Amino acid sequence: MNTDERPFVPKGSHPIETGRYLLPTNEIVRMHDTVTQWIDNRTPGGMIYGRPRIGKSRAINYLMLDLPSEFGENLPIYKMSCRKYKQPSENSFFEDLLNDVGHALPYSGKANLKRDRLFNFFLERAERAAQKRIILFIDDAQRLHEIHYDWLMDIYNELDNDGVSMTVILVGQEQLIHQRSSFIQSKNAQIIGRFMVHEYKFIGIKNISDMATCLSGYDNISEYPEGSGWSFTRYFFPEAFKQGQRIESCAEDLFSVITNLKAEAGLTKSTEIPMQYFTLTVEYAMRRFGVNGEDVEWLNRAHWKQALINSGYIKAEAYQDVV
C-alpha cells in the first residue's frame, strides 16, 4: 500500500519517537563485508572494537538480520551481552549464554549441566539448519576474563569434534586490543589463535559522505507503517518531501554545524561522530521541527545546531578530549 494520505500513527509509537529502528551506514556496510569474509572462511573468531556509543551494538543487530540472506535463512546466529561481575563464574557465564541464545532452561542445574545443555543446543541447531556452523556475537566483550575464553574454547572444541564450526565475534571497546597484547605477553597462543587473530576497527561518521549516506536512510530505506510508502522524512516533513526536499541534502549543513561547535568548544580531536549522538540529533530535529512539532518549512543550520546541542554530543566530546 502506498497512499498520499499521511498514515495515522499513535503518539509516541513512531520509530523516530521510540528509537527502535535500524538503518545501514557506510561503516556497517564495511563491517558487513569483513564479517561475511570471516564467516565464509569459517574463521574461529575475530574482534570488532571501537570507542563507546559508536554504534557497534546497533551494527550487530543489523548484521544478525542481514547475514541470513548471505548464508541461508536458517543460519544459527546468536548474540550474548556480557554482564559485569566482580568475579568470573562458570555458572553465571553459561547461564547468561543460555538465556541470551533463547534456551528454554537457562537457570536449572549446576555449571557442568548448563555447559552440556549449551553444547547440545548449538549442535542441534547447527544440524537442523544443515549449516554445520554456529555464529556467536559477544557484545561488551572487553568484560571477558581469561577463564571465560577457556570456557568458550571448550565449547568450540566439542563442536569441532562433532563437525560443527563455530565463529565467535568479539565486539567491544578498545580494551580488547590491550587484552590481546596481555595474552601475547603471557603466551596464551590458544586464545589468540581461536578468537583474536582477525580484527576490525569500527569507526563513527568522519566526513560529509558518511553523513549523507546515514541521512539518506531516513529518506529512502526507512518506512513506517510497514508497506505505507511513508519514509521517516516524508512522515515528519510531508509538504517539504512533496516539494522534493530530502534530509540527505542537509549533510553539509549538519557537518558544518558540528565542525563549528567543536571549534567554539576548543575540541581538537579529529571528528568521529558516534551513531548514538547522530541518531539523537536527527530524531530531535524531526520531532521538534517536523509536522508534529513546530512544523517548520524545512530544516536549516539553526535547527541542526539546537538538535546537536540537545543530543549531548559536544559535552561528550569534551570529556573524550580530557581522557
Separation of alpha carbons 59 and 234, rounded Å = 25
Which has more pLDDT, 314 or 4? 314
Peptide bond into 225 cis (omega under 30): yes
In a domain, 3, yes or no: no
Q: Is the residue at 237 inside a domain? A: yes
Q: Establish if 146 belongs to a structural domain.
A: yes
Beta-carbon contacts of 146 under 8 Å, excluding residues fewer than 6 positions away, are 183, 188, 191
pTM for the model: 0.89
Q: For residue 321, what pLDDT is reported?
A: 57
Distance, in Å, from the CA atom of 131 to the CA atom of 129, rounded to the nearest integer, reads: 5
- Give the pLDDT score at 189: 87
Q: Which residues, 6 or more positions from 64, have their beta carbon under 8 angstroms from its beta carbon?
A: 77, 79, 137
Q: What is the CA radius of gyration of the chain?
A: 22
List pLDDT tens digits, range 180-201. Answer: 999 988 888 889 999 999 999 9
Residue 307 has pLDDT above 80, yes or no: yes
Domain that holds residue 45: 26-201
For residue 154, being part of any structural domain is answered with yes
pLDDT of res. 220: 96
Tell me which of 141, 175, 201 is where a domain ends. Answer: 201
Summarize the confidence of residues 79-89 as an average pLDDT: 92
pLDDT at 52 over 90: no
Domain boundary at 147, 170, 201, which? 201
Percent of the chain with pLDDT over 90: 85
Q: Confirm whether 169 is domain-assigned.
A: yes
- Average pLDDT, integer, range 240-247: 98
pLDDT in tens, 221-239: 999 999 999 999 999 999 9
Q: 86: pLDDT confidence band, cut at 50, 70 and 90?
A: confident
User: Residue 46: which CATH number?
Assistant: 3.40.50.300
Rounded Cα distance, 271 and 261, in Å: 11
Which class for 237: exposed (0-12), middle (13-18), buried (19 or more C-beta within 10 A)? buried
For the chain, the average pLDDT equals 93
C-alpha closest to that of 240 among 279, 295, 297, 183: 297
Q: Which three cell numbers stand for residue 13?
A: 509509537
Whether 192 and 259 map to the same domain: the answer is no
In a domain, 14, yes or no: no
In terms of domains, do 180 and 281 share one? no
- pLDDT on residue 112: 94
Q: Is residue 281 situated within a structural domain?
A: yes
Q: In this predicted structure, what is the pLDDT of residue 1?
A: 53
Task: Check residue 269 and give its pLDDT.
Answer: 85
Sheet with 165-172, strands from edge to edge, namely 77-81, 133-139, 165-172, 45-49, 198-201
Asked whether residue 34 falls in the same domain as residue 140, the answer is yes
Of 149, 155, 143, 151, nearest to 87 by C-alpha is: 143
211 with 197, same domain: the answer is no
pLDDT of residue 322 exceeding 70 = no
- The DSSP symbol for 249 reads G
For the stretch 107-160, pLDDT in tens is 999 999 999 999 999 999 999 988 899 999 999 999 999 999 999 999 999 999
**Grid cell listed for 12:** 509516541
What count of other Cβ atoms lies within 10 Å of the Cβ of residue 204? 20
CB 25 within 8 A of CB 210: yes
pLDDT > 70 in the chain, percent: 98
* pLDDT of residue 2 exceeding 60: no
pLDDT, tens digit (0-9, with 9 covering 90-100), for 12-45: 999 999 999 999 899 999 999 999 999 999 999 9
Element at 200 (helix H, strand E): strand 198-201
